[in-house]
Amino acid sequence: MKKDPFRLTPYQVQWLLVVGFVTVGYALYLRYLAIELSTVTLACDAGLQSDLCRARSIATYLFRNSVFGSLALIVAVLHVIRPSIVLLTVGLAAAGAGIVLYNVALSGIAVGILILGFARPAPATV
């Protein structure tokens, strides 16, 4: 019995586009308007308690510990083992955030592995 490769429906592609653009857009916002902008950095380091400073500190903690890249790599390997739209969505979001927020090496490898997931057969449905 021949299994078909993992394919996305048009609605799934649209969902992945929305998730990808929102994730990368928010990561760009955090990087250039919260992490690298000196006025915001000085204000947050001086003790300003705002949502932007909280998001900045969380994002800084996550990219210093390579959480985005590690999560993207783990999810990408799981996606190659058993392809699904859920794993592809989580992997795409983590890799997009990781590439923008300084976890380029691990996230880049994860993107390559996510692409390999399309060569695998789709899981059998009962």
Q: Where are the alpha helices (DSSP H) in the chain?
A: 10-30, 38-45, 51-64, 67-81, 85-100, 104-116
Q: Hey, where are the domains in the chain?
A: 11-118
- State the DSSP code for 46: T
What pLDDT, in 10s, does the model give residues 42-84? Answer: 999 999 999 999 999 999 999 999 999 999 999 999 999 988 9
At 124 the pLDDT is: 67
The span from the CA of 13 to the CA of 58, in Å, is: 30
At 117 the pLDDT is: 86
- Is the pLDDT at 104 greater than 90? The verdict is yes
At 86 the pLDDT is: 95
Q: What is the pTM of this model?
A: 0.88
The span from the CA of 41 to the CA of 32, in Å, is: 11
- Average pLDDT for residues 25-34, to the nearest whole number? 96
